Amino acid sequence: MAVIKIRIDFDGDRYIGHGRIQLLELIGQHGSIAKAAKAMDMSYKRAWYLMDEFNSMFADPLIERQHGGKGGGAAKLTPFGADLVRQYRDMEAKALSVFAKPLAAVEKHLAPKEAVNPKPAKKAGQSART
């Protein structure tokens, strides 16, 4: 089944997208930017910068950070951050329900998926042992 991923562009570089919302969700689940980054196979530094940029878009903060110490840092969603995630996921669900029939019609025309990990073609002059 098809999936709809929404990107909302406000102006310039300010936008809400699937990856930012996923990072925010994972911070809420794990209570940590580092653990959320690891779950997304992303560096902590990249996740921290993404959240800092995302957080700065709004007048109200998305997360609250507790800086590291002996036990390490922590982060949690603010009520606004949790509400933003909920609203975004609601928009995705509504979009999918609105477009379900047209998407199903388009999906019927998709070509079959190729076999998983097909063997690469041999290059000219390449023996079986190379």
pLDDT greater than 60 at residue 70:
yes
* Global pTM value: 0.78
Judge whether 14 and 58 are in contact, CB under 8 Å.
no
Q: How confident is the model at residue 125 (pLDDT cuts 50, 70, 90)?
A: low
> What was the pLDDT predicted at 3?
84
Model confidence over 41-65: pLDDT tens digits? Answer: 999 999 999 999 999 999 999 999 8
Query: Is the pLDDT assigned to residue 127 strictly greater than 70?
Result: no
Question: How far is the CA of 3 from the CAs of 27, 35, 89, 97, 125, in angstroms?
Answer: 23, 26, 12, 11, 44
Residues 41, 130: Cα–Cα separation, whole Å: 34
Segment holding 66, helix H or strand E = strand 63-66
